[in-house]
Amino acid sequence: MSLKLYFAPGSSAFAPLIALEELGVAYETHHVDLAAGDQRKPDYLRVNPRGRVPTLAVDGEPVTEVLAILTYLAQAYPHSELLPLADPLKLAHAYEVMSWFASTVHVAFSQIARPERFADDDSVKAALATPGEARFHRTLTDIERLAQGPGPWLLGESFSAVDAYALVIWRWAERRQIDTAGYPAWSAKAARALARPSVKRALRREAAAKVAA
């Protein structure tokens, strides 16, 4: 089986990148330079017609959207325990959190970072930033509440795809220069995740892509 991840450094593709490193399987990466508009070029649109990252090509067949990619990897490599597949209730809670990340947290951040997804008029784009900022801050408070739960990780005793996905949001908060010290429980769990070998390797992959660009 061949795996190829199309990703952009700093994007939500960081979660699948961590997951692949957790698995320890062979995979390729393809850097999609968002600033250069690679996501809108014909070569990439043939891979993902929506022009978004990430995309995971499995034997050449594309799988898009973070949640779908993480689900595929967890089920294709169940030894990894990326998701609690053996416990239906815990699995439901994992999907609950990750669906909320995708449908609410990511949308709030996109209002700030990608206003062109919501409007063409420049004045409307500018008007989206303020409510987007407020919504994004509210979601961080919700993640802090989640992080206050028992155990070293967001789902309890085991590192999971939820922790990988949450690091995407953590980095977005840092990019917005938000004082993450205001989220002590999440800070502790994020620091633990950032110290994980798989995460360090994923960060090196991103850094290498930036240098090569």
Ordered per-residue pLDDT tens for the chain, 213 residues? 899 999 999 999 999 999 999 999 999 999 999 989 999 999 999 999 999 999 999 999 999 999 999 999 999 999 888 999 999 999 999 999 999 999 999 988 877 766 666 555 566 556 566 666 888 889 999 999 999 999 999 999 999 999 999 999 999 999 989 999 999 999 999 999 999 999 999 999 999 987 765
Say whether both 116 and 167 belong to one domain. yes
**Measured in Å, how far apart are the chain's first and last C-alpha atoms?**
27
pTM comes to: 0.92
**Residue 108 and residue 99 in contact, taking contact as beta carbons nearer than 8 Å:** no
d(CA 154, CA 150): 8
The verdict on 203 and 159 lying in the same domain is no
Q: What residues make up the domain containing 161?
A: 88-196
CATH of the domain at 118: 1.20.1050.10
Q: What is the CATH number of the domain that holds 206?
A: 3.40.30.10
Reading the block at residue 188, the tokens are 């502790």
> In terms of domains, do 92 and 192 share one?
yes
Task: Please tell me whether residues 203 and 188 are part of one structural domain.
Answer: no
Query: Which of 53, 157, 162 lies closest to 105 in space, CA to CA?
Result: 162
146 and 203 share one domain = no
